[in-house]
């Protein structure tokens, strides 16, 4: 698409591996600086913000700051592990060596009596094998940091409900599901890039859109039931209120489900899955236990707002623009022999490997894309809050957000620069201010919640 630019960039004097390592270090340094700012922001002594003065006591406010600081330290540990992993991969020519391992594995499998009838040794099959092996290595590394986060940080703050056996079982299930789902998608993607050559962009974007819709279809029907215990929300006041809200707004809810999240965590949440015309509402059992019926309905009013205001199609469209930029950038480097040799490859390689290598060089583009994505999501969150408020749930959405943040020890404020780069959702103070929350009503809302606890307990079973 850009032959002149591609020719200029195919220059043996450009040390692409060095550029990639510099970008990795630059990304780590930027995030370390932002995390330091956020850590210092939450390390200073300050009073509870005015809008929360009657809603969150000083002890809970300080606990949320402590939890935030611990998460920031954990995040820096993760990023340090990722930096060491990625730099080691580039320095040790991990990708060329692993590409050869994948080739040997495919040849070995093709020699087996039964498998050999179906498996053809070519770039596409080798790419799928490379993905499977590389994904396995990356997953095992991520399990280490996930284990530390779950059994050290979350355990320390009283959120972890995992046993070691269940943790191992769930991680293995997640790994198997992702392998089964992603391997065919990788096969189709590499095939598209191989078959259509330089004119692949339109077909790759179409595939990305179809793949996204496919994933949205299988998540509620197959993946969620496989990974988590789900059961229908029982008949009662909560179900009636949710159904009435959905009917009033024309929301196409197909199922109301409860996720047994309490066996793994004390955190609470609610979300919707499925295609725009067939949605499932999923409530954590911890949310039902911790919140009042009006608060839960208000939170779902926020989620329905995302659907009603077409935020989901907007995000899909934004994803398509991001995919287009990625594929255009890739097309510039797709035949760059200097790039491949710089990373240790002696000859032409799979489009999958080329895409991975190019991803190391797109850090400046990634920054712009991330900032734009954050701004769009934050705008959508404000709009969804306003939608719930306009339905008459101003106080309920406010008290629901407050209760979620209190129970989850979510940080209520942020350093502005850290938030700009890393935070997709407005913080609690920003959201309460935007909906016009009156802090003088906090005590009244708390009394209303206490009076409804018995009703919630009966709904939760």
DSSP 278: E
Cβ-contact 344, 95 below 8 angstroms: yes
Sequence-ordered list of residues with C-beta below 8 angstroms from that of 208, at least 6 positions apart, any chain: 319, 320, 323
Of the residues 70, 303, 405, 415, only one is catalytic, namely 303
The one catalytic residue in 70, 285, 385, 405 is 385
Spatial neighbors of 178 by CB under 8 A, at least 6 apart, are 135, 139
Say whether 303 is catalytic: yes
Q: The tokens of 430 are what?
A: 């920003």
At a CB cut-off of 8 Å and minimum separation 6, what does 52 contact? 61, 402, 412, 428, 429, 432, 439
Q: Is 425 annotated as contributing to ligand binding? A: no
103 known ligand binder:
no
The dihedrals phi and psi of 265, each to the nearest 5 degrees, come to -160, 160
Could you identify the residue written with the tokens 């009657």? Answer: 54
155 included as an active-site residue: no
The two structure tokens encoding residue 226 = 């496989």
The answer to whether 295 is a known ligand-binding residue is no
Indicate the SS3 state at residue 435.
Answer: coil
What angle, 0 to 180 degrees and rounded to 10, lies between the N-to-C axes of helices 164-196 and 200-218?
A: 150
Relative to beta strand 270-275, strand 278-284 is antiparallel
What spatial distance separates the first Cα and last Cα of the chain, rounded to whole Å? 61
Cα separation, 335 vs 349, in Å, equals 9
Active site residues: 303, 385
Binding residues: 302, 306, 381
Binding residues for Zn(2+): 302, 306, 381
């Amino acid at each position: 698409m850009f032959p002149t630019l591609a020719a200029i960039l195919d220059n043996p004097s450009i040390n692409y591996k060095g550029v990639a390592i510099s970008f990795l270090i630059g990304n780590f340094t930027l995030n370390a600086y932002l995390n330091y700012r956020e850590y210092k922001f939450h390390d200073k002594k300050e009073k509870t913000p005015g809008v929360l003065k009657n809603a969150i006591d000083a002890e809970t406010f300080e606990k949320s700051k402590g939890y935030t600081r611990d998460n920031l330290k954990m995040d820096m540990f993760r990023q340090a592990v990722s930096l060491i992993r990625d730099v080691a991969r580039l320095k040790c020519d991990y990708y060329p060596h692993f590409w050869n391992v994948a080739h040997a594995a495919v040849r070995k499998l093709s020699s087996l009596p039964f498998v050999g009838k179906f498996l053809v040794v070519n770039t596409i099959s080798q790419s799928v094998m490379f993905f499977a092996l590389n994904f396995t290595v990356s997953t095992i590394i991520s399990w280490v940091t996930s284990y530390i986060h779950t059994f050290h940080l979350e355990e320390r703050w009283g959120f972890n409900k995992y046993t070691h056996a269940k943790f191992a079982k769930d991680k293995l299930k997640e790994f198997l599901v992702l392998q089964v789902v992603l391997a065919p998608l990788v096969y189709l993607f590499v095939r598209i890039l191989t078959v259509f050559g330089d004119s692949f962009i339109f077909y790759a974007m179409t595939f990305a859109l179809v793949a996204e819709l496919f994933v949205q279809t299988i998540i509620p029907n197959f993946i969620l039931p496989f990974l988590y215990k789900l059961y229908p929300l029982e008949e009662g006041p909560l179900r009636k209120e949710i159904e009435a809200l959905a009917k009033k707004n024309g929301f196409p809810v197909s199922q109301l489900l409860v996720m047994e999240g309490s066996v793994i965590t004390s955190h609470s949440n609610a979300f919707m899955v499925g295609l725009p015309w067939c949605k499932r509402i999923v409530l954590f059992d911890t949310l039902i236990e911790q919140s009042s019926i009006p608060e839960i309905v208000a939170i779902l009013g926020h989620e329905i707002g995302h659907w009603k205001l077409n935020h989901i199609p907007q995000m899909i469209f934004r994803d398509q623009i991001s995919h287009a930029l990625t594929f255009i950038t890739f097309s510039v480097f797709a035949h760059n022999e200097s790039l491949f040799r710089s990373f240790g490859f002696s000859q032409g390689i799979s489009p999958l490997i080329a895409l991975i290598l190019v991803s190391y060089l797109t850090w400046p583009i990634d920054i712009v894309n991330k900032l734009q994505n954050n701004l769009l999501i934050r705008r959508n969150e404000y709009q969804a809050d306003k939608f719930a408020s306009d339905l008459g749930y101003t106080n309920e959405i406010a008290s629901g957000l407050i209760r979620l943040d209190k129970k989850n020890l979510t940080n209520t404020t942020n350093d502005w620069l850290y938030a700009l780069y890393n935070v997709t959702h407005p913080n609690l103070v920003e959201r309460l201010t935007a909906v016009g929350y009156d802090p003088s009503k906090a005590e009244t809302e708390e009394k209303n919640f206490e009076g409804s606890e018995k009703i919630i307990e009966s709904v939760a079973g």
